[in-house]
């Protein structure tokens, strides 16, 4: 079930599994990738030519609109991940999404909601799938992070070989879906070095509206 993220290969990682779950085999009502529709706080003319100027953006897709901000030293890019059907990606300044050793990204997972398939159900399913694909793997509790939108993100750390973690997933519940914010590194050292920036990213997340909330 693991997927290859376009030119960026994340073999055997939970990050690839989550992309497969959320977009490769979508649940009923899952969104289709759409062209980016975003508002930036940087000068629009500059942002059009340099993604590193995009400090914060409102990202719009099928039945979701949310805001995130780039941590210091990171690029917010809403186009580089679209070929892999990833809504919004982040990588260190001076690097590229396709080749960076440590990256972060944000993607909606439709089909889970407060009254149907809950966050706890999703986490349990993810852990079960992860253990099935990585028998030596380890999942640990990463605590919680409060977001700007006053939501509680539940965090899990993952290691495919049972050693130090190199993946983190924050699960943020919304009314009809769960937002996933992921940190993925090729090394445990890269993971540890990016944790502070990752926490900033999760804290910056805020839900804006769904189609129903916008009256569409």
Return the pLDDT at 52.
47
- Domain boundaries, position 25: 14-48+55-208
CATH of the domain at 141: 3.40.1000.10
- Cβ-contact 108, 80 below 8 angstroms: no
For the chain, how many residues are written?
216
Give me the DSSP letters along 101-134. Answer: SEEEEEEEEET--TTSS-HHHHHHHHHHHHHHH-
Give the pLDDT of residue 56: 84
Higher pLDDT, 211 or 98: 98
Question: What pLDDT does 130 receive?
Answer: 93
Q: Is 24 inside any structural domain?
A: yes
Residue 160: count of CB within 10 angstroms of its CB: 19
**9 located within any domain:** no
In a domain, 214, yes or no: no
More confident residue, 210 or 7: 210
pLDDT for residue 202: 97
Is residue 46 over pLDDT 70?
no
Give dist(CA 93, CA 75) in Å, integer: 6
Does 216 reside within a domain? no
> What's the mean per-residue pLDDT of the chain?
76
Global confidence as pTM: 0.76
Query: Is there a domain that residue 136 lies in?
Result: yes
> Residue 7 domain-assigned?
no
Q: Is the pLDDT of residue 174 over 80?
A: yes
- Count of domains observed in the chain: 1
DSSP-based three-state secondary structure for 135: coil
């Amino acid at each position: 079930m693991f997927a290859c993220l376009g030119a960026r290969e994340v073999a055997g990682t939970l990050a690839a599994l989550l992309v497969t779950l959320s977009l490769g085999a979508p649940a009923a009502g899952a969104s289709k990738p759409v062209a980016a529709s975003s508002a930036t706080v940087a000068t629009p003319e500059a942002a059009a030519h340099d993604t590193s100027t995009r400090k914060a953006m409102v990202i719009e897709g099928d039945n979701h609109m949310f805001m995130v901000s780039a941590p210091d030293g990171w690029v917010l890019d809403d186009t580089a991940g679209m070929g892999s059907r990833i809504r919004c990606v982040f990588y260190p300044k001076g690097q590229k999404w396709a080749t960076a050793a440590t990256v972060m990204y944000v993607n909606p997972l439709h089909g889970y909601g407060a009254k149907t398939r809950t966050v706890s159900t999703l986490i349990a399913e993810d852990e079960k799938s992860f253990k099935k694909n990585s028998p030596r793997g380890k999942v640990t509790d990463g605590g919680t992070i409060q977001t700007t939108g006053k939501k509680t993100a539940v965090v899990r750390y993952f290691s495919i070989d049972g050693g130090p973690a190199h993946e983190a997933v924050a699960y943020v519940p919304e009314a009809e879906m769960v937002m996933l914010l992921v940190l993925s590194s090729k090394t445990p050292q890269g993971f540890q070095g990016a944790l502070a920036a990752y926490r900033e990213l999760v804290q910056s997340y805020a839900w804006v509206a769904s189609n129903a909330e916008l009256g569409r």
